[in-house]
Structure 1
Amino acid sequence: MQRDPSSPSFASSNGIELAYDCFGDPAAPPLLLIMGLGTQMIAWDEAFCERLAGRGYRVIRFDNRDIGLSTRLSAAGIPDVAKLLGQALAGVPVSASQVPYTLAHMADDAVGLLDALGIDRAHIVGASMGGAIGQEIALRHPARVRTLVSIMATSGAPDLPPPQPQALQVLLTPTPLDRDGYIARQQQVMKVLRAGSHPDEEALDAARAERSFERGLHPAGYARQLAAIIASGSRRERLASLKAPTLVIHGDVDPLVPIECGKDVARHVPGARMVTIEGMGHALPKVTWAPVIDAIAGHAVEGR
């Protein structure tokens, strides 16, 4: 029976409310899933979560701040992302004072959710921006992290390869606010990000986009999250102090965060291992679930 993604639970965390839900045995070791930029928790597909929970974990997914059903920080205003990006590309660091919040705040949100659920330590799994947030959690709150899995994420170092032009374009193009326009746009975005031919996934894209639309769009939140990424800068040097057992998972055809970015994370975290998924872009199509879930579960077992 499919869960109703419009009726999650809510927890107070770091001064805001986060929408979340859980899968599996409440007494099992907790595993927190963190999604990426402007992406709701339902992008962690229910069947993916159930399969991961079936490996012996209490799987928790949630909407980051400013997305889905979690608190929207509308009073913070909309940052000038183009200006911030231009500043960063010119080699001028963007300070935290220039943006409503940073990835460090979002990391603290996630730890606040663990607090609300009475969880002392959890396995942390993040995808894309969620992987960067996971890195921040492990750096800022090392005692709360059993293991870390960083999926299709970067250290944020400025000398790493940039996104492919088409992927960067979909990242920066405004989101349509009407249902049909949004669905068509998401179909285009996912086709670009997945890379290659995935007809089975493409057949599901419209329904997935409609679910996100029904839960609510928030383009201003997307802009604030993107500004948070820009202002958070590079974690490369700090990664040397990361203590949690770390696994890096990356696709070899990722058009948005090239695989060299994942290799950079693995190279700078002491003892980190890397799993490369052949044919995977910047998404988790069903064909990747088995190797990704095997990697996550196997790594978590090693870190118990």
Structure 2
Amino acid sequence: MYTPNRGEQFFEINGARLCVETFGDPADPPVLLVAGASASMLWWDAALCELIAAQGRYVIRHDHRDTGRSTSYPPGEPGYSYTDLVLDVLGIQDVLGIERAHLVCQSMFGGIGLVAGMDHPGRVASLTLVSTSTGEPGLPSPTSEFADSMPAEPDLAHLVSVVDHVVGAVRACAGGSPYFDEDATRALAERDVARARDYASTLANHYAIAADAPSRDRFGDIVAPTLVVHGDHDPLLPLPHGEALRDAIPGARLLVLKGAGHDLPRPVWDLFVRALVRHTAPGRP
């Protein structure tokens, strides 16, 4: 039976204090949502988490290091590597008593799911990779419109400037999607900036971590059932990135979200949730 979320909890994991929130019944199949770079748990909208949980899934979201209420490091000096972020996710599974979780990983941190799938296959029930890439040479660069529309660096001393920067970056990542909602994005950005321990670290540190990212040569070793989700308006990682990821992982399937950019806008939630629920169904081959 569905139960409401239990609020934020803090756990000491892998040398860091991580903020975690859960939704739904712990007896249901666990779905662990991993946000992209510089994104706290808030960017997996609570209403979306509730929607997934209502379909019989135990949903977990967390603040990465340097986002939200989790451990923060000085700007430009992250005290962790990409591998640490993978171990953080597995550590969350440990403290919640979850042996195998369905990992849903977004953007740059799709690599967390890829590493987990390659190096820790016994901990991964399935992978869902949203707006991510193999990173192989020859794939399209970000569009010129994306580059031209990215905002300048904010004045970190002024809250309004930081919020404007975040809204501008999300608008650019929407790639002209008709689904971009500026008012909702601004409200979320205001909450996110106010909630963070140090937003200067949030903006900088994930891009400064040690580059021990997954090896493209090993994608064929992934045995977890994999769903690739990609918007056809994505200007940062255009659709061929998702197609390449589908082709690189044995048996992977691709869901193209018409009208979506690099994010998961509310109008595509129903389609995304239906696909995710099918993908994570108990007993699925």
Which residue number in structure 1 is paired with residue 199 of structure 2? Answer: 218
Deviation digits for residues 106-161 of structure 1, max 9, x if unmatched? Answer: 11110011111111111100111232211111112110010100000112223322
CA distance in 2, matches of 1:200, 1:72: 30
**Is 1:236–1:265's contact at 8 Å kept on the other side of the alignment?**
no
Task: Report the CA distance shift for 1:128/1:200 in structure 2 as closer, same or farther (over 3 A).
Answer: closer
1:143 lines up with 2:122 in the alignment: yes
Amino acid at match of 2:234: D
Q: Secondary structure at the match of 1:12?
A: strand
Written as runs of structure 1 = structure 2, the 5 A alignment for 1:260-299 is 260-299=240-279
CA distance in 2, matches of 1:219, 1:137: 28
Q: Secondary structure at the match of 1:64?
A: coil
Written as runs of structure 1 = structure 2, the 5 A alignment for 1:32-181 is 32-74=32-74, 78=76, 100-168=79-147, 173-177=152-156, 178-181=158-161
CA distance in 1, matches of 2:193, 2:243: 34
Which has more helix, going by share of residues? 1
Which residue number in structure 1 is paired with residue 235 of structure 2? Answer: 255
Amino acid at match of 1:159: G
How much has 1:235 moved relative to structure 2? 2.9
**Is 2:236–2:262's contact at 8 Å kept on the other side of the alignment?**
yes
Q: Secondary structure at the match of 1:20?
A: strand
CA distance in 2, matches of 1:196, 1:169: 13
State the percentage of identical aligned residues: 34
Amino acid at match of 2:122: A
Q: Secondary structure at the match of 1:32?
A: strand
**Is 2:111–2:214's contact at 8 Å kept on the other side of the alignment?**
no
1:209 lines up with 2:189 in the alignment: yes
CA distance in 1, matches of 2:202, 2:179: 31
Amino acid at match of 1:219: A
Q: Secondary structure at the match of 2:140?
A: coil
Which residue number in structure 2 is paired with residue 18 of structure 1? Answer: 18
**Match for 1:300 among 271, 280, 283?**
280
Question: Aligned pairs, how many?
Answer: 279
Indicate the larger mover: 131-140 or 146-155.
Answer: 131-140
**Match for 1:246 among 226, 229, 234?**
226
CA distance in 2, matches of 1:104, 1:173: 30
**Is 2:131–2:237's contact at 8 Å kept on the other side of the alignment?**
yes
**Is 1:195–1:253's contact at 8 Å kept on the other side of the alignment?**
yes
**Is 1:149–1:246's contact at 8 Å kept on the other side of the alignment?**
yes
CA distance in 1, matches of 2:79, 2:8: 26
Q: Secondary structure at the match of 1:124?
A: strand
CA distance in 2, matches of 1:223, 1:182: 13
How much has 1:256 moved relative to structure 2? 0.8
TM-score, scaled to structure 2:
0.89
How much has 1:163 moved relative to structure 2? 1.4
Deviation digits for residues 159-184 of structure 1, max 9, x if unmatched? Answer: 32221245346779434322211222
Alignment root-mean-square deviation, CA: 2.4
Q: Secondary structure at the match of 1:231?
A: coil
Structure 2: which 5+ runs fail to align? Answer: none
Structure 1: which 5+ runs fail to align? Answer: 80-98
CA distance in 2, matches of 1:73, 1:195: 31
**Is 2:121–2:224's contact at 8 Å kept on the other side of the alignment?**
yes
**Is 1:12–1:113's contact at 8 Å kept on the other side of the alignment?**
no
TM-score, scaled to structure 1:
0.84
Task: Report the CA distance shift for 1:100/1:280 in structure 2 as closer, same or farther (over 3 A).
Answer: same
Task: Report the CA distance shift for 1:100/1:12 in structure 2 as closer, same or farther (over 3 A).
Answer: closer
Q: Secondary structure at the match of 2:230?
A: strand
Deviation digits for residues 192-242 of structure 1, max 9, x if unmatched? Answer: 1112254771121221111011102432343221133x8235632110101
How much has 1:290 moved relative to structure 2? 0.9
Task: Report the CA distance shift for 1:199/1:35 in structure 2 as closer, same or farther (over 3 A).
Answer: closer
Task: Report the CA distance shift for 1:186/1:28 in structure 2 as closer, same or farther (over 3 A).
Answer: same
